[in-house]
A and B are shown apart, each in its own frame.
Chain A
Amino acid sequence: MLKTVGAAAVLFAGGATGAEIGRLYSRRPREIKALMGALLLLQTQISYVAAPLGEALSVVALRADPKVEAFFSHAAGYLNASCGLTAAEAWDKAVAEVFPDSSLREEDLDVLRDLSAALGNSDREDQALHISLALERLKALAVAAEEDARRFVRLYRFLGFGAGLCLIVLLF
């Protein structure tokens, strides 16, 4: 009886670990798309409303997908605090604080970091171009992330259960 319970626990643990790794793959494209939606909103705020960046980021934080809302509210908070931070510093600080808990990878965050250097330093036309460029790069990453998700989600779930089964065979 105890052996059965132990085996079930090992199998569950293996399956859960595989499912969790698989979930990271499936979450990443959704988070990239949420980021793209928010950047599109930011582009609108800058191009059509000409809202100051602090205000624009606050608006985006209110309307964006909850998956990326924290990033924009952190960036807005730093920028509006008048603590002597440039837009790039506020933005990069928010990237460093918020995204370690996400499924986004370094290459996704590099797009955000590259965008930060241009934020607020030029006219509307130029700002819109920089955001469009970031959106294009994110779009390509989202396609790759979806492909990864399709390939790896089931693979890792299977591997998790498989590893659990192997362990049961070895232990018992």
Chain B
Amino acid sequence: MRVKQDYQEQELVRFFPQTLRGILQHITEWEEVEEVRLKTGKPLMVRFARKDAFVSQDGVLVGRPEEGYVVSPEDVNRVVNIASGASLYAFEEEIRSGYITLPGGHRLGLAGQVVLERGRIKTQKHISGLNFRLAREVRGAADEIVPLVLAGSPPRVCHTLIISPPRGGKTTVLRDLVRQLSDGVPRLGFPGATIGLVDERSEIAACYKGVPQLPVGARTDVLDSCPKAEGIRLMLRAFGPEVVATDEIGRAEDARAVEDALNAGVKVVATAHAGTVDELRKRPFFRYLFALGVIERFVLLERREKPGRVAAVTDGTGRPLGVKAC
């Protein structure tokens, strides 16, 4: 356990300068840490699955903001410089999206002054807020839903939509589902399928220099940082996958790309932001998708003690399957 924690600590602290390393190395709950937040002139903050806390100069977790170590502009600049490998210029596209993906799949969110060019974000300067989000594989996060996503004999993948509010664990469950569907599920007699994963925000596979940093399966091709609609079409043309997986669908162009996949006989596994299925029905994109009547499984997640808890799985008509709603 200690070895694992040491590894996670080393994984993250290498992105920090010596001053902050000295503070963060005293944290003993690295396995629980989800985010480390730095804001110029504000206390250093660590976010856990169930709580958040400030970190004092001595590396002790404290509840009162005034007891926390106050992050200086120099700290922020140094972290940006070190975490980006002194190469912000190599992350121009990602900076436009507000984050950079780091080795190990971790993500550094950036907030500063946005520079616009012809109404579009060109870059950010005077960066004053940082948010490290730790990438963590939760192996087995999809164990509960895999038997419900596979149907028939021999088993085939169903068109599946995973739904949850923000920070509900959609991406974590999708990643593990993709891994299992790709590698195969021997206990269910499923041999595995070729999967085209369109990872627009580099959150699912957490690619660094194009290489997935988190396991997404042996039969998975990843299209990193690619707009979903274009990515789905590209995958259909170039890789002929049996399943297309993507995160957070919801725009009009996504609907057409999903329809292309359906017409090509490819199964779609995707996620969407929503608290309930009814909430989705009110949105034009999903009204259209529901009218097609193709979604065979809705997986509703909730965040309780930790993200990714399955609240309910229903078929396309809303009939509950297997897992009971809470």
Q: Which residues of A contact B (CB under 8 A)?
A: 46, 50-54, 56, 79, 82, 84-88, 90, 119-124, 126-127
Contact = CB atoms under 8 A, between A and B. Distances in A.
Contacts of B14: 82, 84
B82 A85 contact: yes
B42 to A, nearest CB: 22
Given A84-B18, A86-B17, A51 B81 contact: no
Contacts of B40: none
B57 interface: no
A53 B87 contact: yes
Contact of A79 (B86, B89, B90, B122): B86
A120 B18 contact: no
Contacts of A53: 85-87
Nearest to B21: A84
B89 A120 contact: yes
A119 B123 contact: no
B31 to A, nearest CB: 22
Contacts of B21: 84
| Nearest 7 A/B pairs, CB to CB | A120-B86, A87-B86, A52-B87, A53-B86, A86-B81, A124-B89, A52-B85
B259 interface: no
A120 B80 CA distance: 10
Given A84-B21, A86-B17, A86-B81, A122 B86 contact: no
Interface residues of B, number: 21
A126 B123 CA distance: 12
Contacts of B78: 86
Given A84-B17, A86-B78, A50 B90 contact: yes
A124 B87 CA distance: 9
A120 B17 contact: no
B81 A120 contact: yes
Contacts of B137: none
Given A84-B17, A86-B17, A86-B78, A123 B85 contact: no
A79 B123 contact: no
Contacts of A123: 88-89, 92, 122-123
Given A84-B16, A84-B18, A121-B81, A51 B90 contact: yes
Given A52-B86, A53-B86, A84-B21, 19 more contacts: A50-B89, A51-B87, A52-B85, A52-B90, A53-B85, A53-B87, A54-B86, A56-B87, A84-B18, A85-B82, A86-B77, A86-B86, A120-B85, A120-B86, A121-B77, A121-B80, A122-B89, A123-B123, A127-B89
Interface string B83-108: 01111111010000000000000000
B88 A121 contact: yes
Contacts of B88: 120-123
A120 B82 CA distance: 10
Contacts of B18: 84
A98 to B, nearest CB: 19
B311 to A, nearest CB: 41
Interface in B61-88: 77-78, 80-82, 84-88
Nearest to B16: A84
A90 B82 CA distance: 11
